[in-house]
Structure 1
Amino acid sequence: MATIVQFENVGLRYGSGPETLSDVSFSLQSGTFYFLTGASGAGKTSLLRLIYLAQRPSRGIIRLFGEDAVVLPRARMPGFRRRIGVVFQDFRLVPHLTAAENVALPLRIAGLPAGEIDTAVREMLAWVGLGPRADARPATLSGGEQQRVAIARAVINRPDILVADEPTGNVDPDMADRLMHLFGSLGNLGTTVVVATHDLHLLTRVPGARMMQLDDGRLLDPTGILRNPPPQSPSPPLVTA
């Protein structure tokens, strides 16, 4: 499997405050499913923002699709972002568009024929249980329905990378299982999937999924030990009388 995302000693700092992420290093393989876990404030959302190019790191190297994303020219950013599907915690649906029109956006940007778009959108909305709500606008949808529209929009064009920030937070357990099955199917088709969650019960829903855990901005290895522990200050010399 090819390495599609690679972080090397990445740090992220907002303003002059302490680092939100420190010395984060990992590689993600194509077609592999990863859960990103950690307590609230551990840095999960910040790490996802770095992957989908909404944020540049303060230091370190990030490679996406084999290229250095930190020095990527601004003109090439849109092309990279079209290969990444994102499910945001706050949905970010376009309020004046219907559910179907929101889901269709990635396909319209890609220039697909209208007939293909309509068919794909109908099938996707039916899969997430929103076929009858295709013409509804976001303001008339419940939180869980808006979440499903956001997920359908993120996955409809089978992106190379899918990142999802707490995607099951507003749906019932049955729908959460369906969404995990959908994400897992994308992985089988070659998409690299990263799902940030605090719901540890989800970890059993996707066979073969791997786990990354953040603790106060640092990545733990599978045994729960820091992969890149902070350097230790030398102990002061013993003073004897």
Structure 2
Amino acid sequence: MANIVQFENVGLRYGTGPETLSDVSFTLAAGAFYFLTGASGAGKTSLLKLLYLARRPTRGVIRLFGEDAVTLPRKRLPGFRRRIGVVFQDFRLVPHLSAYDNIALPLRIAGMPESEIEAPVREMLAWVGLTERGRAKPPTLSGGEQQRIAIARAVIGRPEILVADEPTGNVDPAMAERLLHLFESLNRLGTTIVVATHDFHLINRVGHAQMMRLDNGRISDPTGLLRHPPRRVEE
């Protein structure tokens, strides 16, 4: 499979402090499933921010979709970001909007006509098992329901890459399993999945996934498998 992401000797520093990420190099194959692990403070969230273009590296090369993302003109960033879905650890739902409108937000920002929005939003609500909660606002939803709405919002634009930062950290084990099934379903449709997690039970549930580990801002790759990612398992 073609590589959809390539990091080469990437470093990231905040201000004048020491590097948070140092000499990070790896590739991600299109359509594969990856878990990103590491102790708290290892740099997982910082790496994800580079991946979904929330920050630019201090040094090194990042290629996304075959193009240099570091030197990408600012006017092209929105188009690139629409190709990447993000599930944040703290959900980041808009509290005064309904579940329906939160999911519809990316489509409206992209300029989709209102007449074409309802069908995909209803489909997403059904996909995450919340058909009857479309009118509910985030403060009235449980943590698991909010997380599912956040996932639906992240994937409604059919992203080529989905990045999820500790997506099961605020839900019970049964809900964590359900969310994992949603990610696997999206992966089977061809989306590259990158999930940052401490939950090794979830990691063991996806036999075809590749694990990347960050230690003190560096990728641990004792097996060399990061340079040769596995093929995505088809059903």
TM-score > 0.5 by shorter chain: yes
Identical amino acids, percent of aligned pairs: 78
- Show structure 1 runs of 4+ deviating over 6 A: none
Q: 1:62 is matched with which residue?
A: 62
Query: Is 1:139 aligned with 2:139?
Result: yes
Deviation readout 1:75-123 (Å, 9 max, x if unpaired): 0000000000000111111122100100111222334444542222222
User: Which region of structure 1 is more displaced relative to structure 2, 174-183 or 159-168?
Assistant: 174-183
Counterpart AA for 1:213: R
Deviation readout 1:2-30 (Å, 9 max, x if unpaired): 11110000000101111110000000010
TM-score (norm 2): 0.90
- Quick check: 1:212–1:222 contact (8 Å CA) kept in 2? no
- Quick check: 2:144–2:175 contact (8 Å CA) kept in 1? no
Query: Structure 1 residues 210 and 222 mapped into 2: Cα distance closer, same or farther (>3 Å)?
Result: farther
* CA-based RMSD: 1.7
Q: Determine helix, strand or coil for the equivalent of 1:122.
A: helix
Q: 2:28 is matched with which residue?
A: 28
Residue 124 of structure 1 deviates from its aligned partner by: 1.7
Q: Distance in 2 between the 1:113 and 1:207 partners?
A: 40
Counterpart AA for 2:143: G
Greater gyration radius? 1
Q: Distance in 1 between the 2:201 and 2:222 partners?
A: 17
Residue 223 of structure 1 deviates from its aligned partner by: 4.2
Q: Determine helix, strand or coil for the equivalent of 1:201.
A: helix
Q: 2:98 is matched with which residue?
A: 98
Q: 2:37 is matched with which residue?
A: 37
Q: 2:232 is matched with which residue?
A: none
Deviation readout 1:149-169 (Å, 9 max, x if unpaired): 111100122201100001111
Residue 38 of structure 1 deviates from its aligned partner by: 0.4
Q: 1:107 is matched with which residue?
A: 107
Unaligned runs of 5+ in 2: 228-235
- Quick check: 2:34–2:193 contact (8 Å CA) kept in 1? yes
- Quick check: 1:87–1:150 contact (8 Å CA) kept in 2? yes
Q: Distance in 1 between the 2:141 and 2:32 partners?
A: 32
- Quick check: 2:8–2:24 contact (8 Å CA) kept in 1? yes
Q: 1:18 is matched with which residue?
A: 18
The 5 A counterparts of 1:184-203 are 184-203=184-203
Unaligned runs of 5+ in 1: 228-241
Q: 1:157 is matched with which residue?
A: 157
Q: When the two structures are aligned, how many residues end up with a matched partner?
A: 225
